[in-house]
């Protein structure tokens, strides 16, 4: 760091400021000046205040000037919004700003620093909060204003290239996922000689769900109470917070599952699938079980349920505006064109190989995303330690 850099606290460069408190009775949900609360900060306001209150409070109390950097001080700490000067008002204490002395630090440099600094908020029982003293104590390395301008220009150029690279990577991941979904629809939308139209009920010996209620938990129990969120791509996941039950509760509430049982989440996150492999479990009501006959490849059913075609057909059967759950009736009555077992096996093999290839490709892209994120962190670290050079713009 050059000798002309100085270390200061944010409290040294300006006053921590916030708008005057707005009472709930002073707001409405229809019209007026947008009033941004912590939940709508950086988004679209869903509350408004009158122009009279806005004008009075803006003149009498603290109010940001155009270009000031507003910061979220509750919940997700450090979200940044540059105030654009348009009529708006902001929730006191939850949204704050440093009324910075621009002869010491530019708004642009401060915005970049806020994306780098460790907020180290105070943690309450439920949410984090950035108190004024927390904010004042944060230290910032300040070069002369011309150097601040140079650093911001390099970061802007580098981040533009990084953001473009990140967008390209994310698009490639999405394209890979869409390719797999398209293949699922293609395979499950076909039919041919020997194919039969049947319902899940006709293809199985039994369809049901789990316990509608809560069993007695036992921390030392050797059995587990699972729900739809424990189902994941063919596997039953016993999580750290999965509740345990006794053998007595297990025998009281267990379902007649078989090696060809397919479990499906029918409430909450819909369409998660797992197979039963003699795990010591009982099911909750958000897990549906289907005991398929031997002439059905359970992996074929897994891929069917993962297809957009399955969700489209289930949605068409839903009576609500949006599909919120799969009823047992709709699961029993679900119609599909099912081929002979040997052709099911062939489809499963093709999809398994494709899924594996798609996963390999996606993991490579995810690795690139991680590297891009690390590059941003590295650039910011160099920027605020006086080591940033023009060559950093290469991505």
**pLDDT, tens digit, 9 for 90 and up, residues 343-365:** 999 999 999 999 999 999 999 99
pLDDT cut 90: percent of the chain above it = 80
Residue 263 near residue 292, CB atoms below 8 Å: no
176-213 per-position pLDDT tens digit: 999 999 999 999 988 888 899 999 999 999 999 999 99
pLDDT of residue 100: 92
**pLDDT (average), residues 278-295:** 95
pLDDT of residue 389: 79
**pLDDT (average), residues 307-332:** 80
274/233 Cα distance (integer angstroms) = 6
**pLDDT (average), residues 9-37:** 95
Beta bridge partners of 16: 98
pLDDT of residue 192: 86
pLDDT of residue 198: 95
pLDDT value at 124 more than 70 = no
Under the banding of pLDDT at 50, 70 and 90, the label for residue 244 is very high
pLDDT of residue 314: 86
Give the DSSP letter of residue 193: T
Q: What is the mean pLDDT of the chain?
A: 91
Torsion on CA atoms 23, 24, 25, 31, rounded to nearest 10: 110
pLDDT of residue 323: 62
Given the structure tokens 């580098």, which residue do they identify?
A: 158
The model's pTM is 0.71
Which 3 state secondary structure label does DSSP give 187?
helix
311/72 Cα distance (integer angstroms) = 38
pLDDT value at 319 more than 60 = no
pLDDT value at 81 more than 60 = yes
**pLDDT (average), residues 240-255:** 94
Under the banding of pLDDT at 50, 70 and 90, the label for residue 395 is low
Cβ atoms < 10 Å from Cβ of 1: 12
Between 343 and 324, the higher pLDDT residue: 343
79/41 Cα distance (integer angstroms) = 8
pLDDT of residue 391: 65
Given the structure tokens 């209620």, which residue do they identify?
A: 213
Beta bridge partners of 122: 129
Domains and CATH numbers, the chain: 9-142 (3.90.220.20), 196-338 (3.90.220.20)
Give the DSSP letter of residue 64: P
pLDDT of residue 121: 73
pLDDT of residue 324: 77
Query: 215-219, 305-309, 388-392: which range is least confident on average?
Result: 388-392
pLDDT value at 325 more than 90 = no
Under the banding of pLDDT at 50, 70 and 90, the label for residue 119 is confident
**pLDDT (average), residues 206-233:** 94
Q: Three-state secondary structure along 256-319?
A: CCCCCEEEEECECCCCCEEECCCCCEEEECCEEEEEECCCCCHHHHHHHHHCHHHHHHHHHHCC
pLDDT value at 317 more than 90 = no
pLDDT value at 320 more than 60 = no
pLDDT value at 322 more than 80 = no
């Amino acid at each position: 760091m050059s000798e002309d850099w100085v270390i200061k606290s944010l409290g040294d460069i300006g006053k921590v400021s916030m708008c005057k408190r707005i009472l709930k009775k002073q707001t409405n949900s229809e019209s007026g000046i947008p009033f941004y609360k912590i939940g709508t900060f950086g988004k679209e306001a869903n509350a408004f205040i009158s122009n009279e209150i806005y004008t009075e409070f803006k003149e009498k109390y603290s109010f940001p000037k155009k270009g000031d950097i507003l910061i979220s001080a509750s919940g997700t700490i450090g979200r940044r919004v540059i105030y654009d000067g348009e009529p708006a008002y902001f929730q006191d204490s939850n949204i704050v700003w440093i009324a910075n002395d621009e002869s010491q630090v530019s708004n642009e440099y401060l915005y970049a620093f806020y994306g780098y600094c460790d907020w180290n908020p105070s943690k309450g029982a439920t949410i984090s909060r950035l108190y004024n003293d927390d904010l004042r104590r944060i230290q910032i390395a300040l070069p002369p204003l011309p150097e601040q301008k140079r650093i911001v220009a390099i970061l802007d150029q580098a981040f533009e290239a990084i953001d473009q690279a990140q967008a390209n990577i994310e698009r490639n991941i999405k394209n890979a996922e869409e390719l797999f979904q398209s293949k699922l629809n293609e395979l499950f939308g076909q039919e041919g000689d020997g194919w039969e139209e049947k319902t899940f009920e006709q293809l199985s010996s039994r369809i049901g769900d789990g316990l509608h209620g809560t069993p007695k938990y036992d921390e030392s129990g050797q059995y587990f109470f699972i729900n739809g969120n424990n189902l994941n791509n063919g596997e039953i996941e016993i999580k750290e917070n999965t509740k345990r039950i006794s053998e007595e509760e297990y025998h009281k509430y267990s379902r007649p599952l078989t090696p060809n049982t397919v479990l499906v989440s029918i409430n909450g996150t819909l369409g998660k699938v797992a197979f039963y492999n003699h795990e010591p479990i009982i099911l909750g009501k958000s897990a549906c079980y289907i005991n398929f006959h031997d002439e059905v490849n359970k992996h074929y059913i897994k891929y069917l349920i993962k297809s957009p075609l399955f969700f489209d057909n289930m949605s068409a059967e839903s009576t609500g505006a949006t599909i919120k759950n799969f009823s047992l009736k709709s699961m029993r009555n679900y119609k599909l064109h099912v081929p002979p077992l040997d052709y099911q096996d062939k489809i499963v093999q093709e999809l398994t190989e494709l899924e594996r290839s798609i996963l390999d490709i996606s993991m490579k892209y995810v690795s690139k995303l991680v590297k891009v994120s690390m590059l941003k962190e590295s650039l910011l670290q160099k920027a605020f330690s006086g080591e940033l050079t023009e060559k950093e713009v290469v991505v």
